Amino acid sequence: MAELLARWHHSLAELPEPVWDGLLEAGHRDASPFYSWRWLRQLEASGSIVPRQGWQDCHLSLWRGEQLIAVAPLYLKGHSYGEFVFDQSFAQLAGQLGLRYYPKLVGMSPVSPVQGYRFLIDPAEDAASLTALLLELIDGFCREHRILSCNFLYVDPAWQPLAEAAGCAAWVNQQSQWNNPGHADFEDYLASFNANQRRNIKRERKAVAAAGLAVQPLVGAAIAPALVGRMHAFYDQHCARWGPWGSKYLSEEFFAALASDPALRRHLVLFSAHRGDPAEPVAMSLCVRGGDHLWGRYWGSDEEIDCLHFEVCYYAPIDWAIANGIRHFDPGAGGSHKRRRGFVAQPRVSLHRWSDARFAAILRDWLPGANAEMAREIEAVNAELPFTASYDPLHAPTPAPDPAA
């Protein structure tokens, strides 16, 4: 058997697209588009995720002869922005101990808080042993370059036990998600709320209609490239409203790539709020579809209209999701207002390794209590959801996937 060879890569262009995507999709029916070669490569090629923005591609590959058998997608980072797992307290602790926290290694789909991170491993190989080997190589890289931490964010729950068995420490946070137990339509979904919240949602949707707006979903090939460019203008405008805290990460070139590349555009769903012509939106949101998942990412509006954000970013996508057999809708990071609109709090796990023994001991001692507290917080949040007493959004039966889909 050929000897294993490890390589580090500072550009995704150094790795073959077909093999990367083959490893991503092998055994994963609903592989996330956010981890596809083209999505990640366009982040780099567009200038959105590059060293001058604090992100350096640092992918680790494992080869058996000429065959690529495993990849650990990684980035070397000089800050904690664009992660949405807030480790600034870790950085503060490092400073108190006289340690340098940055740069750090991060495994995630950049600027997208999307569950699904894992090492991409050939299914013919032993995933547990290769996970352990890749982690050993990462540890060696960190020691050699005096990097304090390596962090895997929004990890795939199926991969998590392999990484924990190899010594990664788990940190639990929370994120909102809508789950579809098989609603027939939006009215059926409304019936799951208590009477007061049903009235509120109906009132909010009527407020948008009263402003003379209709919302239309536009999917994949039906999306005109110019409309994706318009979406970037909304995104840019929305970020600018928050001034220096606007967190604008993606360039106009990245949106242009989404519009021009059929392999990327097929995952897009735009929700255009308009008066007459969907190609002339007053507001718009951009969602991404993969398998039976929908992810809400960005939105913007030219007008301040009551409840328009709720309609374009939550209600219209849920309506479309029900009609199209989507089982899970992740609306993005933050926003306690999501809870009252049907999104439950669910745990999201990040995994961590630290090269300094004292730093690692302090955090490993802290994590069990922090994770238990987060579990209690998630339980308390979900206990206040405005559903009927008979409807349990956490344990409602979920229809089995269609094998022909």
- The DSSP symbol for 381 reads H
Distance separating alpha carbons of residues 155 and 168, to the nearest angstrom? 12
Per-residue pLDDT, averaged over 331-343, amounts to: 83
Per-residue pLDDT, averaged over 184-207, amounts to: 95
Neighbours of 278 (CB within 10 A): 20
Helices and strands of the chain, counted as H and E runs: 13, 15
How confident is the model over 352-374, as pLDDT tens digits? 999 999 999 999 999 999 999 99
Instruction: Identify residue 326 by its one-letter amino acid code.
Output: I
What H or E segment, with its residue span, contains residue 308? helix 308-310
Torsion (CA) 382, 387, 392, 393 in degrees, nearest 10: -70
Tokens for 370, please give them: 């922090």
Tokens for 79, please give them: 């800050």
Q: What is the CA radius of gyration of the chain?
A: 22
What H or E segment, with its residue span, contains residue 179? strand 169-179
- For residue 389, the model assigns a pLDDT of 73
Instruction: Identify residue 86 by its one-letter amino acid code.
Output: F
Within its chain, how far is the Cα of 327 from the centroid? 16
Q: How many percent of the chain have pLDDT more than 90?
A: 87
Confidence band, pLDDT 50/70/90 cuts, at residue 332: confident
- For residue 337, the model assigns a pLDDT of 82
Confidence band, pLDDT 50/70/90 cuts, at residue 197: very high
Distance separating alpha carbons of residues 119 and 106, to the nearest angstrom? 12
Confidence band, pLDDT 50/70/90 cuts, at residue 1: low
User: Does position 334 have pLDDT exceeding 90, yes or no?
Assistant: no
Distance separating alpha carbons of residues 160 and 152, to the nearest angstrom? 10
What the chain holds in terms of domains, given with CATH numbers, is 4-173+346-382 (3.40.630.30), 181-326 (3.40.630.30)
Q: How many percent of the chain have pLDDT more than 70?
A: 95
Coil vs helix vs strand at 306:
coil
Per-residue pLDDT, averaged over 125-129, amounts to: 97
Residue of 360, 36, 391 whose CA lies nearest to 167? 360
Instruction: Identify residue 167 by its one-letter amino acid code.
Output: G
User: Does position 273 have pLDDT exceeding 70, yes or no?
Assistant: yes
Tokens for 268, please give them: 């897009």
Q: Name which residue leads in pLDDT, 135 or 333.
A: 135
- For residue 147, the model assigns a pLDDT of 98
Quote the pTM value: 0.94
Angle at the Cα of 173 from the Cα atoms of 122 and 388, rounded to 5 degrees:
110
* Mean pLDDT score of the chain: 93
User: Does position 341 have pLDDT exceeding 70, yes or no?
Assistant: yes
Confidence band, pLDDT 50/70/90 cuts, at residue 240: confident
**Residue 305 in contact with residue 215, Cβ under 8 Å?**
no
**Residue 354 in contact with residue 363, Cβ under 8 Å?**
yes
User: Does position 246 have pLDDT exceeding 90, yes or no?
Assistant: no
- For residue 75, the model assigns a pLDDT of 98
Tokens for 30, please give them: 């609903």
User: Does position 402 have pLDDT exceeding 50, yes or no?
Assistant: no
- For residue 245, the model assigns a pLDDT of 63
Distance separating alpha carbons of residues 193 and 387, to the nearest angstrom? 4
User: Does position 397 have pLDDT exceeding 70, yes or no?
Assistant: no
User: Does position 400 have pLDDT exceeding 60, yes or no?
Assistant: no
Sequence-distant (≥ 6) Cβ neighbours of residue 130 within 8 angstroms:
62, 69, 70, 119, 121
Per-residue pLDDT, averaged over 56-81, amounts to: 97
- The DSSP symbol for 280 reads S
Q: Name which residue leads in pLDDT, 28 or 72.
A: 72
Confidence band, pLDDT 50/70/90 cuts, at residue 22: very high
- 51 backbone dihedrals φ, ψ, rounded to 5°: -55, -40
Coil vs helix vs strand at 150:
strand
Q: Are strands 293-301 and 75-77 parallel, antiparallel or unpaired?
A: unpaired
Per-residue pLDDT, averaged over 194-199, amounts to: 95
Q: What share of the chain is helix, strand, coil (3-state, %, to 5)?
A: 40, 25, 35
Instruction: Identify residue 203 by its one-letter amino acid code.
Output: R
Cis preceding-peptide flag for 103 (omega within 30 of 0): yes
